[in-house]
Structure 1
Amino acid sequence: MKVIVLGAGVVGVTSAYQLAKAGHEVTVVDRQEGPALETSFANAGEVSFGYCSPWAAPGIPAKALKWLFMDHAPLILRPKLDRAMLAWMFQMLRNCTAERYAVNKSRMLRLADYSRTSLAEVRAETGIAYDERMQGTLQLFRTQQQLDASAKDVKALAADGIPYEVLDRNGCILVEPALKHVREKIVGGLLTPKDETGDCFKFTNTLAAKAAELGVRFAYGTQIKGLRVEGSRVRGVATDGGWLNADAVVVALGSYSPLLLKPLGIKLPVYPVKGYSLTIPITDPSRAPESTVMDETYKIAITRLGDRIRVGGMAEISGYTNDLCGARRQTLEHSVTDLFPGGDVRKASFWSGLRPMTPDGTPVIGPTRIAGLFLNTGHGTLGWTMSCGSARLISDLVSGRKPEIDAADLAIARYS
C-alpha cells in the first residue's frame, strides 16, 4: 500500500521505518527541513520503560494548587479563553482517581515494556548509536513523604512485572556515586533498572537515514493543508506542493494532530503541555549523573548524554506558545546545580518543546472512524520511550495484522 506518515519526529520516523519493513511504499511529510526538529529535538533524554506514569493521579489537584504558588514550580498554568484547554483540563481532573490511575498506568506500562523490546530489536538490526546507556532511572526523593507516596507506583510496577528497587540514601549513592556530595538532601529513591537513556535527536536522524535506505521518501519543508476524504475513506493529503495520494495515512503530528482532524469532525483530546530543557557540557564527571535521575520535588529529569548533561522538565499549560521563559531556565539550573554541579550552566543551550498530552496519559494509537486513517500521537513526555513499540503497533494495524500486545484500548474509540 501507499502510506503517508504525517510528522517526522521520533514517533513518525519509527512508524515509517516499521511500515517500510512491512513492505509498504511510505512517504513522510513534515514542515521542518529535517527530522526531529520540534518536540523530539532536545527532550529529557530518558527512555523510561519503568518510570512511566499518568500525570492524572490521586492527589494531583491539591498538589497543583500548591505548585502554582511555589518557587521553581513543576506546573505553570497560563489560562486562556480556549475551549480546548478547558475541556482537556476537565477531562484530566476526571482521571485523577485511584481507579482510573491504575487503568491508565497499566496501559502505559504495557506499551512501554513492548517498546523496550522493540527498541532493542531496532538497535540490533541497525547497529544504531545515539549516546545510549542502559543503567536505569532513579526517582529521587528529598522527603519521607515522597518516598511513602511512591507505594502506589511500586504496586503498579509489581502488578505488571516491571523490575524495580526501593532504595535508601546509601542505595541511591551506590547507583549514582555523585550523590555522595549531597547525601543530606535525599532520603531514598525508586530505581527502575531496565530504563535507558539516549539522544532522541541523534536516534531519529540516524533511523531516518536507515528508513530512506528501505525506500522511505521524506518530503521535508512541506506544509500540510488537510486530508482528502471521499465517502468514508481517506484518499490522500493536501500540501502546499499539491495532492499526495495514499491508501492509508498515519497522523503523527504530536500537539498539532487535533488541528488537522477537527475539520473531519474527529475530536482528539490532545493538548500541548510545554516542557523545557538545558543541555550542559560536563566539566567534572565525578559530579555528573551516570544515567537519569528524576528529581521528584521539581519533576525534573537530569540525564547523562555522552559528554553532556540534559536537564528537562516542567509542565506549562499555555497553549501553542513556544517562547523561552527565563524563570523556567532558573528552575532547571536550580535542580541540576543542587544535585549535580558537574557542568557549566553558563554554556548551556536552552530549549522548549510542546508535548502532546492526553488527559489520561496514554497515547492514541490505532484506527479512526474514517477507513485508512490512523493515529499515532498523544505520547506526552514519553514519545521517545514509547516510539518503537507504538511504531510496531501502527505498522501491524495498517497492515491488517494482529498486534503482539492488546491495542484495542489505545485507540481514540476509548474516549467515546
Structure 2
Amino acid sequence: MRILILGSGVIGVTSAWYLAQAGHEVVVVERQPGPALETSHANAGQISPGYSAPWAAPGVPLKAIKWLMQDLAPLRISPRPDLNTLGWLARMLANCNHRAYTRNKLRMLRIAEYSRDCLIELRNEIGIEYDHRAQGLIQLFRSQQQLEAAAADMRILDRCGVAYELLDMAGVAAHEPALARVSDKLVGGLRLLGDETGDCYLFTRALARRCEALGVEFRFGTEIDRLLAEAGRVSGVATSAGVLKGDACLVALGSYSPTLLAPLGIKAPIYPVKGYSLTIPITDPACAPESTVMDETYKVAVSRLGDRIRVGGTAELNGFDLSTPDSRRINVEHVVKDLFPGSGDAGAAELWTGLRPMTPDGTPILGATAYPGLYLNTGHGTLGWTLSLGSARYISDIIDGRTPAIDTEGLSINRYSR
C-alpha cells in the first residue's frame, strides 16, 4: 500500500519506520523543514512507562486551585478561556475520579510498557544513539503527604507488574548522589526501575535517516490543507504542493489533528497544553543528575542528556500561543537550581516551548476511524516520547490487518462516542 503519514515528529517517524519495515510505500508530509522540530524537539527527555499516568486524577481539581495560586505555578489557565478550553476542561474533570483514573492509567501503562520494550528491541537491532541512559526515574517527594499518596499508584504498578522501589532519602541519594546536598528539602522518592532517559530530537532525526534508507519519502516544507474523502473513503490529502494520493492516511499531527479531522465530522478531543524546557550545559558533572528526577511539587522533570541537563515541565492552557515569557522560564529554572545547584550554566540555557496534544483521559487516540483509509496516531500529551514506539508498532499492525501485541480496548477514538 501507499501510505501517507501526516506529521514528522517522533510519532510520525516511528510510524514510518514500522510501516516501511512491513513493506509499504511510505510518504511523510511535514510543514517544517525537517523532522522533530515542534513538540518532539526539546521535551523533558523522559522515557517513562512507570510514570505514565493521566493528569485527570482524584484530587486534581483542588490541587489545580492551589497550583494556580502558587508563585511558581505548575499550571496556568488563560484568564479568558474560550469555549474549546472550557469544554476540554469539563471532560478532563469528569475523569477525576478513582474509577476513571485506574482505567485510564492501566490503558496508558499497557502502551508504555510495550513501547519501552519496542525501543530496546529497536536500539539493539540498529544501534541507534540518542544520549540514552537506562538508570530509572525517581519521582521526588517534598512532603510526607506526597509520599503517602503514592500508595494508590503503587497498587496499580503492582497490578501491571511494573518494577519500582520506595526510597527514603538515603536511597534517593544512592541513585542520585547530587541530591544528598539538598536532602533537607526532600522526604523520599519512588524509583521506577524500567524508565529511561534520552534525547527525542536526536533519536527522531537518526531514525528518519534510517527510514530514508528504507525508501521512505519525506515531503518537508509542505503545508497540509485538508483530507480528501471520495465515496466515503479518505483517498489522499490536499497540500501546498498539490494533491497527494494514497491507499491510507495516518494523522500524526499532535495538537493540530482536530483541525484537520473536524471537516469530516470527526471530533478528536485533543487540547494543546503548552510546556516549557531549558537545555543547560553541564559545568560540574558531580552536581548534575545521573538520570531523571520528577519534582512532584512543581511538576518539573530534570534529566541528564549527555553533557546537557534538560529541565521540562509546567502546563499552560492558552490555545496555540507559543510565546516564551520570562515568568515561565523562572518556573523551570527554579527546580534545577534548587535540586542541582552548581550543576550547569543557566545563563547559557536554551529556552523552548511546545504544545503537548492532550486528551481529557490521558490516553492517546490510536487506530481506525469511521472512514476507510483514515487512521489516527495522536493525542499523546506529555508522553509522546514514552509511548511513541509502541503506538507506532500498534498502528502498523492495525493498518496491516494484523492482531496487535497489546489489547486494543479503549485505545481508538470510539471511546468518546459511548
Report the counterpart of residue 369 of structure 2 in structure 1. 368
Contact 1:300-1:332 within 8 A present in 2 as well = yes
Distance 1:80 1:396 in 2: 43
Contact 1:79-1:317 within 8 A present in 2 as well = no
Contact 1:85-1:271 within 8 A present in 2 as well = yes
Deviation at 1:79, TM superposition (A): 4.2
Contact 1:198-1:305 within 8 A present in 2 as well = yes
Deviation at 1:167, TM superposition (A): 0.5
Deviation at 1:80, TM superposition (A): 3.7
Name the aligned partner's letter for residue 323 of structure 1: S
Report the counterpart of residue 78 of structure 1 in structure 2. 78
Tell me the percent identity. Answer: 61
Report the counterpart of residue 306 of structure 2 in structure 1. 306
Name the aligned partner's letter for residue 377 of structure 1: T
State yes or no: 1:44 paired with 2:44: yes
Name the aligned partner's letter for residue 129 of structure 1: E
Name the aligned partner's letter for residue 127 of structure 2: G
State yes or no: 1:60 paired with 2:49: no
State yes or no: 1:121 paired with 2:146: no
Distance 2:197 2:20 in 1: 26
Contact 2:81-2:318 within 8 A present in 1 as well = no
Contact 1:251-1:376 within 8 A present in 2 as well = yes
Name the aligned partner's letter for residue 13 of structure 2: V
Report the counterpart of residue 197 of structure 2 in structure 1. 197
User: What CA deviation, in whole Å up to 9, does each residue of 1:34-68 have, x standing for no partner?
Assistant: 00000000000010011111000000000001111
| SS in structure 2 of the partner of residue 409 of structure 1 | coil
Distance 1:156 1:74 in 2: 25
Deviation at 1:286, TM superposition (A): 0.9
| SS in structure 1 of the partner of residue 69 of structure 2 | coil
State yes or no: 1:164 paired with 2:187: no
Distance 2:369 2:39 in 1: 24
Name the aligned partner's letter for residue 344 of structure 1: D
User: What CA deviation, in whole Å up to 9, does each residue of 1:98-123 have, x standing for no partner?
Assistant: 00000000000010000011111111
Report the counterpart of residue 284 of structure 2 in structure 1. 284
Name the aligned partner's letter for residue 404 of structure 1: A
Report the counterpart of residue 399 of structure 1 in structure 2. 400
User: What CA deviation, in whole Å up to 9, does each residue of 1:261-307 have, x standing for no partner?
Assistant: 01111000001000000000000111100000001110000000000
Report the counterpart of residue 148 of structure 2 in structure 1. 148
Deviation at 1:81, TM superposition (A): 4.9
Deviation at 1:407, TM superposition (A): 1.8
| TM-score, normalization by structure 2 | 0.99
Distance 1:220 1:147 in 2: 47
The root-mean-square deviation of aligned C-alpha atoms, in Å, is 0.7
User: What CA deviation, in whole Å up to 9, does each residue of 1:305-337 have, x standing for no partner?
Assistant: 000000000000000111001111001111100
Contact 1:27-1:217 within 8 A present in 2 as well = yes
Report the counterpart of residue 411 of structure 1 in structure 2. 412
Deviation at 1:126, TM superposition (A): 1.3
User: What CA deviation, in whole Å up to 9, does each residue of 1:210-250 have, x standing for no partner?
Assistant: 00111100000000010010122110010011110010000
Distance 2:59 2:378 in 1: 27
Structure 1: which 5+ residue stretches go unaligned? none
Name the aligned partner's letter for residue 346 of structure 1: G
State yes or no: 1:349 paired with 2:347: no
| SS in structure 2 of the partner of residue 194 of structure 1 | coil
Distance 2:253 2:386 in 1: 17
Name the aligned partner's letter for residue 383 of structure 1: G
